[in-house]
Amino acid sequence: MYEGLSTQKKGLLFLTAVIIVFMQGGLWAARRQGTDNFPDNSLVVSPTRYLPFSRGNARPTIKEHPIPKLMSEAENRFRELLSRQSQTLEDAVKEYERRYRRKPPRGFDRWWKFARDNGVLMIDEYNNIEEDLAPFWDLSGEQLRWRAGLAGHLPFIDVVRVRSGNATAVNLLDGYESEDVSARAKGFLSMLEKFQDQLPDLEFPVNGMAEGRILVPWERRVGSNLTMQSNDDAVRNELSGIRHPDWHGEGNVWEAFRRTCEPGTAARRLFSSFRASSTHKTSQLSARSEEFVFARSTAGNYSFCTNPWAHYNQGHFFSDWRTIPAIFPVFSPAKASGFLDIRIPSHYYYAQTRRYTYGWDSVNLQLKPVDDMETPWEEKSDKIFWRGASTGGGSSPPGFAAQYQRHRQVVFVRLASDQSSANRTVVFADPPGSTNYIYADVPAAALNDEVMDVAFVKVVGAENFPGGHDAFVQLHRVDDGGVNLGDHWKHKYIVDLDGMGYSGRFFSFMESDSAVMKATVYREFFSDWIQPWLHYIPLSQTYSEIYNIHAFFSGATESTLRAANATVLSMPPEKRKTIDGDRRLRRIARAGKQWKRTIGRRVDMEEDRPLTDMLVPAAYVYRLCLEYARLWSDDREKMSFSL
């Protein structure tokens, strides 16, 4: 194709290809919004991570804010990620061999064609698959097949089978085959159907629950690289009693998780593992500094082994559902640090529903590129918006209802519902648009009234909460009116939080024309394909920086200005906002929307494709299946691909 072209022409062709990739990956859409008088991020250097808060009366200032640099670095990282993706099959094979020190799996050439034909941008970034399947390289094909067969008989595990090029989903728990399977198994089956004729006979045990299932004790994860005992009888003994779907008072998820930690870590020391976070005393100076520290990413690799007190705020540690203490191939939609499940795309991301799908017309059964309730950016509220239910999962061990109500969500709702006089430290530019940043200590009650629109939509199980329903609603705002998914689009800031497990609303949030603020400890199939501070705003586990994020993008609130006696008070209210911050926030919203429609898309909106086509997740599952098929084989060398 390139024979006879001059070096200059080859360079122009390569440059053109890179520009097209940027446009598709969500960078171009972000860049072209509000470029007039937009500051050059390349000029931002070495922002101060912590504000130099003093103990005296002097008011410190900083000349640079950390957020512009975080955004600039994020854009550069994502640009570099897209530009280095292989452009030919030969390059993809070489990159695969460089990364994993072995040949690609058989069928890699057909996968390559599938990915290229469907415009998949991420060709090389599949380290998630390598990580998830790594434990099974130390098992033989026979052992893997045996464990997959056994896993299919465990509670809340369905089996997706491929036989003679045809995929089906069954449930085997009660000793006979039933087609009454979970939505997750049905979703995974729909992915396989696009390339089922390209696969050998296989079995995929699919987790029917949102929570992770595989927690292998540390003592069985060393020496033989996660193989546990190679003796099948030992595995059976380890699973004795596991056929009960819940703990029945015989343990809990946190105790099972603690066993996965290395000896000597805080989680393995009994006292530390049950020490609540409230025992950590911090000075006012430290609290102020924490409120101005911005997370670089979500906490997908957060270590509960070294920070065991943080487990009180995570719902999956209090789940009723029993975990599995042996290495089995169980396919789940997400996993937290320490779990050994194999990640697959969530069924929420490719099933059209009113609750989880942006632009879904449930009357005419069609998917629209713009949701009927989408609001123009200029008309969106500046408030931070979240709605959710206080339900989800069980509470094991009992007695933790005060922390349990969807742990991560209750922390956030309680923060946003605080009507006390306790102060929050807010940093802002005075005057707006300048690089002169000052801070003010603002009462939480006033700040929450101005910034937050956060509430539970219903309360379930309040009888287990200390003080009952009345005590619960005193600590948490409850909006009994409820909301539709489309009501979120009325706000510039949409918060996405973990529930009992991962959030199924993330893709719909990303497709809206609002900026997503996300906090999670889960990692999903797309975790390496998305860039924090470019496509969304990451939040820390404490959410304490959320007020300063709002102040940077939307400007200081009235109560903040008055607390600081800021010079901007002399200006009319309409001139107190920062245009630069609003443009930056819109860039994140637009980049996130473009990412969803390219890298995480349901359909190619520019082509006439069936609405059920989930091209990018399908490409991920296709490649995962090829890797799994090689491990399933007795002759893995024969199941490798060579040019």
pLDDT digits (tens, 9 = 90+) for 168-216: 999 987 667 888 899 999 999 998 988 999 999 999 999 998 889 999 9
Q: Pull the structure tokens for residue 568.
A: 């901007």
Same domain, 201 and 88: no
Those residues with Cβ within 8 angstroms of residue 20's Cβ, 6 or more apart along the chain or in another chain: none
pLDDT of 226 higher than 50: no
In terms of residue numbers, what domain contains 175?
139-275+314-343
The whole-number pLDDT of residue 598 equals 85
Q: Give the per-residue pLDDT at 257.
A: 94
Take residue 92 and report the two structure tokens written for it: 């993809």
Query: Where is average pLDDT lowest: 144-148, 304-308, 315-319, 369-373?
Result: 315-319
Residue 247 counted as domain residue? yes
Q: Are strands 515-519 and 491-497 parallel, antiparallel or unpaired?
A: parallel
- Mapped onto helix, strand or coil, the DSSP state of residue 268 is helix
Mean pLDDT, the chain, integer: 81
Q: In the numeric block, which tokens belong to residue 34?
A: 């509000």
The per-residue pLDDT for 541 is 84
Same domain as 371, residue 327? no
Per-residue pLDDT band at 287 (split at 50, 70, 90): low
For residue 598, tell me if it sits in a domain: yes
- Token pair for residue 16? 């053109």
Residues in the chain: 643
Q: 143 and 97, same structural domain?
A: no
pLDDT of residue 33: 44
Higher pLDDT, 178 or 58: 178
Same domain, 173 and 230: yes
Contact 182, 210 (CB under 8 A): no
User: Residues 472, 476, 478, 482: what is their CA dihedral angle, to the nearest 10 degrees?
Assistant: -120
Same domain, 176 and 270: yes
Q: Is 358 a domain residue?
A: yes
Query: Which of 121, 155, 179 marks a domain boundary?
Result: 121
DSSP string, 55-86: SSS----BS--HHHHHHHHHHHHHHHHHHTS-
Say if 616 falls within a structural domain: no
Cβ neighbours for 479, distance < 8 A, ≥ 6 positions apart: 387, 455, 456, 457
Structure tokens at 465: 């909460």
516 against 2, higher pLDDT: 516
Is the peptide bond between 369 and the residue preceding it cis, with omega within 30 degrees of 0? no
Residues 498, 591 within the same domain? yes
Task: Give the model confidence (pLDDT) of 323-368 as tens digits.
Answer: 888 899 999 999 999 999 999 999 888 767 778 889 888 888 788 8
* 209, part of any domain: yes
Mean pLDDT of 486-502: 91
| Nearest residue to 582 via CA among 439, 446, 380, 436 | 380
Q: Are 582 and 553 in contact (CB under 8 A)?
A: yes
* Whether residues 145 and 99 fall in one domain: no
Coil, helix or strand at residue 509: helix
67 pLDDT above the threshold of 50: yes
CB atoms within 10 A of CB 180: 8
Burial annotation 464-477 (CB, 10 A radius, 16+ → b, else e) = bbeeeeeebbeebb
Burial class (CB in 10 A: 0-12, 13-18, 19+), 396: buried
pLDDT range class, residue 322, cuts 50, 70, 90: confident
* Model pLDDT for residues 106-161, shown as the tens digit of each residue: 999 999 999 998 889 999 999 999 999 999 999 999 999 999 999 998 888 999 99
Number of domains the chain is built from: 3
pLDDT of residue 227: 47
Three-state DSSP class for 248? coil
Q: What is the pLDDT of residue 609?
A: 41
Query: For residue 280, is pLDDT > 50?
Result: no
User: Of 54, 89, 121, which closes a domain?
Assistant: 121
Instruction: Measure the CA dihedral 531/532/534/535, to 10°.
Output: 80
| Same domain, residue pair 223 and 330 | yes
SS3 content of the chain, % helix, strand, coil (to 5): 40, 15, 45
Phi first, then psi: what are they for 231, rounded to 5°?
A: -80, 125
What is the chain's alpha carbon radius of gyration, rounded to the nearest angstrom?
A: 26
361 and 241 share one domain: no
pLDDT grade, residue 288 (50/70/90)?
low
Angle CA 61–62–65, to nearest 5: 135
Is a pLDDT exceeding 50 seen at residue 581? yes
97 and 149 co-located in one domain: no
341, two tokens: 């499940």
In a domain, 460, yes or no: no
Domain for residue 413, yes or no?
no
Residue predicted with more confidence, 211 or 93: 93
| Whether residues 507 and 537 fall in one domain | yes
Query: Is-contact 34 587, C-beta < 8 A?
Result: yes
Binning pLDDT at 50, 70 and 90, where does residue 60 land?
A: low
318 with 444, same domain: the answer is no
Query: Is residue 563 in a domain?
Result: yes
